[in-house]
C-alpha cells in the first residue's frame, strides 16, 4: 500500500523516530506490570481459537499475540521496533507460546491480501501516524468474513488525557499525522473502516490500575518506562522550567484520577471494537 511520505526522506525519518521512541524506557514492563490483562481481553473479544491464522499489528512485546498463540492460533506478531520484538520472543519462550515475530510497518504490511482470519491490535496501531493508511492495511490483510479487533485508549480516558497534557511540551506532529487517542473514538474508527466492514461491536471499558500509591509514583514510573513520556522529557531536558511544569501537570492529572481507599486506584478507559470484513 502507498503510505503517505513513506518513500520520502521525511517519511523514513518519521518511522525512525517512532522506532527509537518505543525503544526508550521499558514498554514490555509497562505491558506486563500495568495492563497485563488487556491482550487476553482483545483475543477473547475476537473469538480467536485453535487453527486460526492471526496477525497482531504493532504487537509490541506480545500482550495480545501470546494469549492468541496459547489459545491455539497460528500467530504472526509484527512491530516497527526490534527491541520490543526481542522482548516478546523471550516472553513467549518463557510462557511456551509459539509466535512468529516480524519487523514490519503497520502502514505497509508485508502480507498478502486476505492472509489472516483475525487481524488485531492492542494499543498498537493507534500509534501509527497515518490513520487511514493503517486502517486500510488492517482491512486488506484480513480475509473476507474475518475479524478485525482493536483495543485503544479513549481521548477522554486517563491515557488520552495524559497525551493531551504532554502535547504542549512535545514537538509539533509532522503534516498528516493524527493523534493516537482518536482510535479510541468509535465514530473515528467507523469512518476509517467505512463500508469495508460490517457487524461492528464497540464498547468502552476500563482497566483497573492499582500499582501507584501516590501521584508522584505514577510520574516517576512513566518518566522511566513509557517511551512517549521519556521522549517528551528528553526533548526538553535543557529547560528545567518546562520540565517542572510538565511534572506538575502530570502529577495533578494522576491526583485527579486516583481514588479508592488511600487514593491508590485508577480506572483507565479504552475502546474495544470488533468488526467483520465484508464478504
> Three cell numbers at 74?
497460528
Confidence of residue 261 (pLDDT cuts 50, 70, 90): confident
Looking at every residue in the chain, the average pLDDT score rounds to 96
Rounded to whole angstroms, the Cα distance separating 89 from 191 reads: 35
Could you say which of 2.60.40.420, 3.40.50.150, 3.30.300.30, 3.30.70.380 is the CATH number of the domain covering 9-160+172-207+271-277? Answer: 3.40.50.150
Q: What is the pLDDT of residue 262?
A: 80
> Three cell numbers at 258?
486516583
> Three cell numbers at 184?
479510541
> Do β-strands 74-79 and 99-103 pair in parallel, antiparallel, or remain unpaired?
parallel
Each residue of 1-59: pLDDT tens digit?
444 434 578 888 999 999 999 999 999 999 999 999 999 999 999 999 999 999 999 99
Cβ burial, residue 201 (10 Å; 0-12/13-18/19+): exposed
Q: Which of 82, 81, 80, 89 is nearest to 110 (CA)?
A: 80
Q: What is the pLDDT of residue 2?
A: 40
Which residues make beta-bridge pairs with 149? 120, 274
Each residue of 152-180: pLDDT tens digit?
999 999 999 999 999 999 999 988 999 99
pLDDT at 139 over 50: yes
Q: What is the pLDDT of residue 10?
A: 83
Measure Cα distances from 173 to 18, 159, 170, 181 in Å. 12, 18, 8, 14
Q: Which of 178, 167, 199, 164 is nearest to 135 (CA)?
A: 178
Q: What is the pLDDT of residue 1?
A: 40
Region 129-158: mean pLDDT is 98
Q: What is the pLDDT of residue 109?
A: 98
Domain ranges of the chain: 9-160+172-207+271-277
Each residue of 69-118: pLDDT tens digit?
999 999 999 999 999 999 999 999 999 999 999 999 999 999 999 999 99
> Do β-strands 142-153 and 266-277 pair in parallel, antiparallel, or remain unpaired?
antiparallel
Q: What is the pLDDT of residue 3?
A: 43
| 74 Cβ contact list (under 8 Å, min separation 6) | 51, 52, 53, 54
Q: What is the pLDDT of residue 40?
A: 98
Q: What is the pLDDT of residue 218?
A: 98
Region 237-244: mean pLDDT is 98
CB atoms within 10 A of CB 261: 6
pLDDT at 275 over 80: yes
Q: What is the pTM of this model?
A: 0.95
Q: Which of 74, 57, 66 is nearest to 97 (CA)?
A: 66
Each residue of 180-224: pLDDT tens digit?
999 999 999 999 999 999 999 999 999 999 999 999 999 999 999
Q: Which of 183, 174, 232 is nearest to 204 (CA)?
A: 183
Q: Which of 66, 41, 71, 70 is nearest to 56 (CA)?
A: 66
Rounded to whole angstroms, the Cα distance separating 43 from 38 reads: 9
Amino acid at each position: 500500500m502507498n503510505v503517505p511520505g513513506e518513500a520520502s526522506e521525511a517519511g523514513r525519518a518519521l518511522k525512525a523516530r517512532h522506532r527509537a521512541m518505543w525503544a526508550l524506557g521499558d514498554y514490555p514492563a509497562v505491558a506486563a506490570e500495568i495492563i497485563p490483562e488487556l491482550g487476553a481481553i482483545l483475543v477473547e473479544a475476537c473469538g480467536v481459537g485453535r487453527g486460526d491464522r492471526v496477525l497482531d499489528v504493532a504487537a509490541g512485546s506480545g500482550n495480545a499475540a501470546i494469549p492468541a498463540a496459547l489459545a491455539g492460533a497460528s500467530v504472526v506478531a509484527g512491530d516497527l521496533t526490534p527491541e520490543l520484538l526481542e522482548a516478546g520472543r523471550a516472553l513467549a519462550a518463557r510462557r511456551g507460546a509459539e509466535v512468529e515475530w516480524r519487523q514490519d510497518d503497520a502502514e505497509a504490511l508485508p502480507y498478502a491480501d486476505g492472509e489472516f482470519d483475525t487481524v488485531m491490535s492492542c494499543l498498537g496501531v493507534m500509534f501509527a501516524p497515518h490513520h487511514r493508511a493503517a486502517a486500510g492495511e488492517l482491512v486488506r490483510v484480513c480475509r473476507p468474513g474475518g475479524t478485525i479487533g482493536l483495543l485503544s485508549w479513549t481521548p477522554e480516558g486517563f491515557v488520552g488525557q495524559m497525551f493531551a497534557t504532554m502535547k504542549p511540551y512535545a514537538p509539533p506532529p509532522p503534516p498528516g499525522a493524527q493523534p493516537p487517542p482518536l482510535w479510541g473514538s468509535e465514530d473515528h474508527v467507523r469512518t476509517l473502516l467505512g463500508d469495508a466492514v460490517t457487524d461492528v461491536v464497540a464498547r468502552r471499558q476500563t482497566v483497573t490500575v492499582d500499582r501507584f500509591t501516590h501521584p508522584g509514583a505514577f510520574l516517576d514510573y512513566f518518566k522511566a518506562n513509557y517511551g512517549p513520556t521519556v521522549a517528551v522529557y528528553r526533548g526538553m531536558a535543557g529547560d528545567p522550567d518546562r520540565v517542572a511544569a510538565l511534572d506538575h501537570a502530570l502529577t495533578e492529572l494522576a491526583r485527579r484520577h486516583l481514588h479508592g481507599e488511600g487514593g491508590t486506584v485508577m480506572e483507565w478507559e479504552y475502546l474495544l471494537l470488533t468488526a467483520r470484513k465484508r464478504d
